[in-house]
């Protein structure tokens, strides 16, 4: 009988990509995907360590899985993967001895051996090394799931912002060679993918072996990807302001397939806090990068990541962040309360900000952002946008897709257009989405 695998993903898009790849690795062993743990023979929790809450969720989920496993007299393989696994390693097996496999983000190509080892009586596997051979050399071809796909091109981080665990959980920066990326992109397009999002913890720091020799930067890679017939949209996420070089900025002016929407994390608008965070740039530098990007692509819209309540953040520092948000006009953000992470330099800094202060600042920031998102969405009404219809809508005949700016757009009478990019005239604004009508049938870029 076929076996079933359930993967639960926490955290960032890199984890979403990794989860899909873990399923690819296990497919040859006969594992088909299950939609809930109750139907599965194996469960993988692909975990995130970025904030305390994210890490805690894993242990409560493990509590539920322990009950399920006991009900089945142990006939359930439980694996903990991802960044909590990397950070906590053997501690997970100590706290949750019913777990069979603990594996880090760099070793999941070895999952088949780990499963075999775990199947032997009492076998428990811990594999959180950073192998010298990159896992990408050992993974099977990616399987496309729909018309938009993620493609991991860069992993790890050497920047060591003082609040962040990623350099410890994902290891040193690694860039996949261009040829491997272009091959994977062509295979995805061959399976019907029209939009590819390049992924990396510092994706614009990608500097891989070029397909024609030498080293390429991300701007060159984007241009090469744009030459692939059938690939209509390219995105990349997430970027560091210091790695935004001239060539990549000019790609925004020259490559129509590169979407005019960019995630460029800034974390804070205060120079003092940026310095304490070890971001290695100041506010003026960030604004300069934004100006250059907007000069290259005037309709470019930006989103960012922000942290409130970093140690030592005063009201004035926080107001600098609010001011920067207004000045750039971000149309969206991922904003978080600072969460102290064991082993990071900021965890030991004086003047930790009290929780109620963080709560109030986050609420104020999110209210401003809600306003800015709403304003941008309002301005979209009456415009015609290229929408990639990639999901069923809420009603029969309706499809939902994404605009170039990642806004969800609902389109009625469109059921025969799944997977296509269509011109949509935006007619309505809902609370978190737009609605409109298809106005032309040709496939277009942006």
Beta carbon nearer to ligand SF4, 242 or 398: 242
Q: Which residues of 382-415 are buried (b: 16+ CB within 10 A; e: fewer)?
A: eeebbbbbbbebeeeebbbbbbbbebbbbbeebe
Which residues ranging from 133 to 172 are in contact with ligand F3S (CB under 6 A)? 165-166, 169-170
User: How would DSSP label each residue in 312-344?
Assistant: T--HHHHHHHHHHHHHHT-SEEEEEE----TTS
Q: Which of 221, 307, 385, 426 binds ligand SAH (CB under 6 A)?
A: 307
Beta carbon nearer to ligand F3S, 45 or 166: 166
Contacting range for ligand SF4; rule: CB under 6 A; set: 155-163, 293-301, 319-327, 404-412: 155-163
Smallest separation (angstroms) from ligand SAH to the CB of 76: 32
Largest CA distance in the chain: 64
Whether the upstream peptide bond of residue 238 has omega within 30° of 0, thus cis, is yes
Beta carbon nearer to ligand SAH, 59 or 334: 334
Task: Tokens 């804070």: give the residue.
Answer: 268
Percent helix, strand, coil in the chain (nearest 5)? 40, 25, 35
Question: 3-state DSSP call for residue 393?
Answer: coil
Beta carbon nearer to ligand SAH, 66 or 280: 280
Does 305 participate in binding ligand SAH (rule CB under 6 A)? yes
Task: Tokens 């970025």: give the residue.
Answer: 50
Contact code string over 49-78 relative to ligand SAH, x by CB under 6 A? -xx---------------------------
User: How far is residue 206's CA from residue 232's CA, in Å, rounded to a whole number?
Assistant: 22
Contact code string over 190-229 relative to ligand SF4, x by CB under 6 A? -----------xx---------------------------
Smallest separation (angstroms) from ligand F3S to the CB of 285: 24
Beta carbon nearer to ligand SAH, 128 or 267: 267
User: Are the beta carbons of 220 and 188 closer than 8 angstroms?
Assistant: no
User: How far is residue 267's CA from residue 274's CA, in Å, rounded to a whole number?
Assistant: 8
User: How far is residue 315's CA from residue 319's CA, in Å, rounded to a whole number?
Assistant: 6
Contacting range for ligand SF4; rule: CB under 6 A; set: 93-101, 161-169, 321-329, 385-393: 161-169
Phi, psi (5° rounding) for residue 250? -70, -25
List the beta bridge partners of residue 303: 263, 332
Contacting range for ligand SF4; rule: CB under 6 A; set: 158-166, 210-218, 284-292, 329-337: 158-166
Which residues ranging from 236 to 265 are in contact with ligand SF4 (CB under 6 A)? 240
Which residues ranging from 60 to 119 are in contact with ligand F3S (CB under 6 A)? 82-83
Does 201 participate in binding ligand SAH (rule CB under 6 A)? yes
- Angle at CA of residue 86, ends 44 and 240, nearest 5°: 105
Per partner kind, with CB cut-offs from 5 to 8 A, the member of ligand SAH, ligand F3S, ligand SF4, none near residue 341 is ligand SAH
**Tokens read off for 221:** 């890679």
Contact code string over 257-296 relative to ligand SAH, x by CB under 6 A? --------x-x-----------------------------
Between strands 125-127 and 101-103, the pairing is parallel
User: How far is residue 135's CA from residue 106's CA, in Å, rounded to a whole number?
Assistant: 6
Contacting range for ligand SAH; rule: CB under 6 A; set: 100-108, 110-118, 331-339, 365-373: 331-339
Contacting range for ligand SAH; rule: CB under 6 A; set: 13-21, 86-94, 335-343, 386-394: 335-343
Q: Binding residues for ligand F3S, how many (CB under 6 A)?
A: 13
Does 161 participate in binding ligand SF4 (rule CB under 6 A)? yes
User: How far is residue 156's CA from residue 134's CA, in Å, rounded to a whole number?
Assistant: 12
Contacting range for ligand SF4; rule: CB under 6 A; set: 9-17, 108-116, 160-168, 280-288: 160-168
Between strands 195-199 and 233-237, the pairing is parallel
User: Are the beta carbons of 100 and 136 closer than 8 angstroms?
Assistant: no
For residue 70, the tally of other CB atoms under 10 A from its CB is 11
Does 160 participate in binding ligand SF4 (rule CB under 6 A)? yes
Per this entry, what is the length of the chain?
A: 446
Binding footprint of ligand SAH on the chain (CB under 6 A): 50-51, 163-164, 166, 201-202, 238, 240, 265, 267, 305, 307, 336, 338-339, 341
Binding footprint of ligand F3S on the chain (CB under 6 A): 11-12, 14-15, 48-50, 82-83, 165-166, 169-170
Binding footprint of ligand SF4 on the chain (CB under 6 A): 157, 159-161, 164, 166-167, 201-202, 240
């Amino acid at each position: 009988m076929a076996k079933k695998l359930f993967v639960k993903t926490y955290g960032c898009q890199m984890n979403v990509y990794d989860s899909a790849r873990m399923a690819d690795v296990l497919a040859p062993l006969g594992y088909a995907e299950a939609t809930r743990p109750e139907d599965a023979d194996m469960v993988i929790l692909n975990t995130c360590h970025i904030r305390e809450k994210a890490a805690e969720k894993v242990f409560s989920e493990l509590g539920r899985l322990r009950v399920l496993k006991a009900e089945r007299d142990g006939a359930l393989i439980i694996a903990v993967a991802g960044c909590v696994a990397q950070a906590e390693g053997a501690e997970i097996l100590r706290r949750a001895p019913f777990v069979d496999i603990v594996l880090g983000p760099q070793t999941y190509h070895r999952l088949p051996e780990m499963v075999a080892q775990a199947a032997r009586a009492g076998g428990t596997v811990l594999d959180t090394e950073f192998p010298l051979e990159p896992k990408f050399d050992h993974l099977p071809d990616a399987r496309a799931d729909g018309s938009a796909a993620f493609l991991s091109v860069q992993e790890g981080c050497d920047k060591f912002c003082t609040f962040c665990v990623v350099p410890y959980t994902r290891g040193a920066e690694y860039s996949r060679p261009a040829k491997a990326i272009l091959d994977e992109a062509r295979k995805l397009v061959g399976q019907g993918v029209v939009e590819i999002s390049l992924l990396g913890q510092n994706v614009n720091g990608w500097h891989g072996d070029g397909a024609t020799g030498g080293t390429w930067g991300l701007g060159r890679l984007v241009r090469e990807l744009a030459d692939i017939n059938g690939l209509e949209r390219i995105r990349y996420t997430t970027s560091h302001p210091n790695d935004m070089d001239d060539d990549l900025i000019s790609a925004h002016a020259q490559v129509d397939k590169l979407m005019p929407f960019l995630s460029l994390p800034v974390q804070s608008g205060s120079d003092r806090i940026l310095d304490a965070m070890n971001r290695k740039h100041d506010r003026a530098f960030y604004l300069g990068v934004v100006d250059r990007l907007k000069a290259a692509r005037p309709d470019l819209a930006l989103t960012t990541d922000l942290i409130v309540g970093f140690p030592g953040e005063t009201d004035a520092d926080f107001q600098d962040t609010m001011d920067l948000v207004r000045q750039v006009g971000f149309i969206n953000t991922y904003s978080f309360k600072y969460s102290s992470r064991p082993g990071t330099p900021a965890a030991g800094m004086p003047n930790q900000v009290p929780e109620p202060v963080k709560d109030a600042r986050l609420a104020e920031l999110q209210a401003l952002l809600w306003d800015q998102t709403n304003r941008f969405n309002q301005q979209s009404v009456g415009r015609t946008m290229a929408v990639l219809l990639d999901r069923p809508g809420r009603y029969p005949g309706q499809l939902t897709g994404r605009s170039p700016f990642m806004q969800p757009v609902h389109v009625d009478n469109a059921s025969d257009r799944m997977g296509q990019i269509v011109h949509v005239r935006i007619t309505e604004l809902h609370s978190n989405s737009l609605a409109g009508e298809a106005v032309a049938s040709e496939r277009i870029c942006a």
